[in-house]
Structure 1
């Protein structure tokens, strides 16, 4: 192997690594979920610049440093702009989006954010919320994380604080999703089609396809969300 080539590659990789480490420290993002879409794209481009510079034989260390320095300056200018001029924040950083308001799903916002009911459930579970019924407000942050404010009845004090005995915890089971019945879930809970139709009739619903989401919880029964156009 060519020793000069190995030395050059080692030097370029080391310089690129230290430069990227410096950029990360300089921009000061303390948590990965603080990174906005703009930051993410910037990181990809910066990594691509370094990668191309390292493996391009016609590019030396000076080009690597210049590319990193220039891109870092541009990112820093954007950070200053968003701090000084509030009107630029929505364009460069994005705005939070209220997906659930007063316990009701905002379907327009859900469509705007390109989310479906499965993805919404997944985001809620990341906040230890296993049923939409528990949510008063759910806000999708620009970083892609979700913030949840539970309904007051679910914001209970710790039983230990009230000297109350422990109660069993029941996991909500999804029965209907986007107008389709998850029969395996229904049967696993000991119910059948006749029982389900009875529950829908009690909620003045004639057709299953009119239901966006429905779950069942042992201590609270069935919870149903109709589709937007119903």
Structure 2
């Protein structure tokens, strides 16, 4: 379970993490997918401390993840890089009872893990 509190910019004043591109704080710690995170904490100085899941604690040759949807907007170039179609993605969203792409806050694809989706 990921223990990161994610919110919109209006929540910033309450000390929550602002996400306009959710991967940037993790990439600084050699984490390229939210799925690698076991626990994350917003520190009092504004930095983020992250504990990786055990299976990701060592560097591997796994494929990089493709960010497909952010804040309800589809990245068609990344979808194509992942070798996926928009029709396939919409079908996967329907399977998860998500009627429209605009209802997805964050979606990424990993060849080994599949889709990771966070609803709005």
TM-score range, shorter chain: 0.7 to 0.9
Residue of 104, 111, 114 corresponding to 1:221: 114
Cα shift at 1:218: 1.1
Residue of 42, 47, 52 corresponding to 1:150: 52
Residue 42 of structure 2 corresponds to 140
Which has a greater percent of strand?
2
Contact map agreement 2:3 2:41 (CA 8 A) in 1? no
Q: Secondary structure at the match of 2:67?
A: strand
Point out the structure with max Rg over C-alpha: 1
Cα shift at 1:195: 1.1
State the 4+ residue runs in structure 1 displaced beyond 6 angstroms. none
Looking at structure 2, the residues matched to 151 and 199 of structure 1 have their Cα atoms a distance apart, in angstroms, of 26
Looking at structure 2, the residues matched to 130 and 199 of structure 1 have their Cα atoms a distance apart, in angstroms, of 23
Cα separation, partners in 2 of 1:193 and 1:152, compared to 1, 3 Å:
same
Residue 31 of structure 2 corresponds to 129
Cα shift at 1:176: 0.3
Q: Which segments of 5 or more consecutive residues in structure 2 lack a partner in the other structure?
A: none
Residue 90 of structure 1 corresponds to none
Cα shift at 1:207: 1.3
Looking at structure 1, the residues matched to 37 and 43 of structure 2 have their Cα atoms a distance apart, in angstroms, of 16
Q: Secondary structure at the match of 1:185?
A: helix
Residue 5 of structure 2 corresponds to 106
Residue 82 of structure 1 corresponds to none
Contact map agreement 2:6 2:19 (CA 8 A) in 1? no
Measured on the aligned residues, the alpha-carbon RMSD in Å equals 2.4
Structure with higher RCO (Cα < 8 A, 6+ apart): 2
Looking at structure 1, the residues matched to 3 and 71 of structure 2 have their Cα atoms a distance apart, in angstroms, of 16
Which has a greater percent of helix?
1
Contact map agreement 2:7 2:19 (CA 8 A) in 1? no
Cα shift at 1:150: 1.8
Residue 14 of structure 1 corresponds to none
Q: Does 1:187 align with 2:73?
A: no
Q: Which segments of 5 or more consecutive residues in structure 1 lack a partner in the other structure?
A: 1-101, 159-166
Cα separation, partners in 2 of 1:152 and 1:170, compared to 1, 3 Å:
same
Bigger shift: 199-208 or 180-189?
A: 199-208
